Amino acid sequence: MVRRFADRHDAGRSLAACLVRLEIDPDVVIALPRGGVAVATMVAEALGCPLDVLPVRKIGAPGHSEYAMGALASGGTIVLNESAIQSLSVPADQLADIVEREQAELLRQEAVYHDKVSAISVRGKRLVVVDDGIATGETVRAAAKELLRRGATQIVVAAPVGAPESIASLAQIPGVDVVCVQTPSDLHAVGQFYDEFEAATDDDVNRLLAESRADGGANGDDGDD
């Protein structure tokens, strides 16, 4: 039976327990902001790992921003769902405008989240990459590919809930495994499996990162490349 999570912290505790049972032992936990950070704090605490964030942005369809045509990750990785783009007949110049706008937002988020503390280097490290749920999987795919490009040796994508077809697709990426607490066949939107699913803010992200660092988590001495 599929259960609803009270909020992202509740979901994070369930995900952390699942990862502990599976004896997942990463070097760093990477959260996808904004919604994934509250989930990831629970995971990082349970696994005793430093926590960092990797900004990612969905490339939303014109007029239907929640429908992903692809995604971008901070650092330059772009993934495109060519079949979605073709089915929507999105002109190349319009797609380029959307990508440019989302790239600007990535730069803004990177500056906000890593203003005082630099990103943790992932080269040669095992990672758990956490989001609050996996629907199309486009943003997680972009994140995983960017982190592998940066030299991560192994990635476990982890979420409280995920669509089975998206999970299967992500697991085909070399060096990537996927762990989800629940994989309902009727997942249309991640929020349908949460009682409370308010939009997180930049202040929420920075507060949670600061709390994690204060508790002995991520530090700023190890810059990324």
Q: What are phi and psi of 60, to 5 degrees?
A: -85, 150
Per-residue pLDDT band for 220 (boundaries 50, 70, 90) equals very low
3-state secondary structure of 128: strand
What pLDDT, on a 0 to 100 scale, did the predictor assign at position 71? 97
Tokens standing for residue 24? 């997942």
193, amino acid identity: F
Question: How far, in whole angstroms, is CA 7 from its chain's centroid?
Answer: 17
What pLDDT, on a 0 to 100 scale, did the predictor assign at position 217? 57
3-state secondary structure of 16: helix
pLDDT above 90: residue 225: no
What pLDDT, on a 0 to 100 scale, did the predictor assign at position 216? 66
Give the integer Cα–Cα distance in Å for 83 and 39.
Answer: 31
What pLDDT, on a 0 to 100 scale, did the predictor assign at position 221? 43
What pLDDT, on a 0 to 100 scale, did the predictor assign at position 222? 47
- For the domain made up of 8-55+116-214, the CATH class stated in words is alpha beta
User: What average pLDDT does the structure give for the chain?
Assistant: 93
What pLDDT, on a 0 to 100 scale, did the predictor assign at position 173? 97
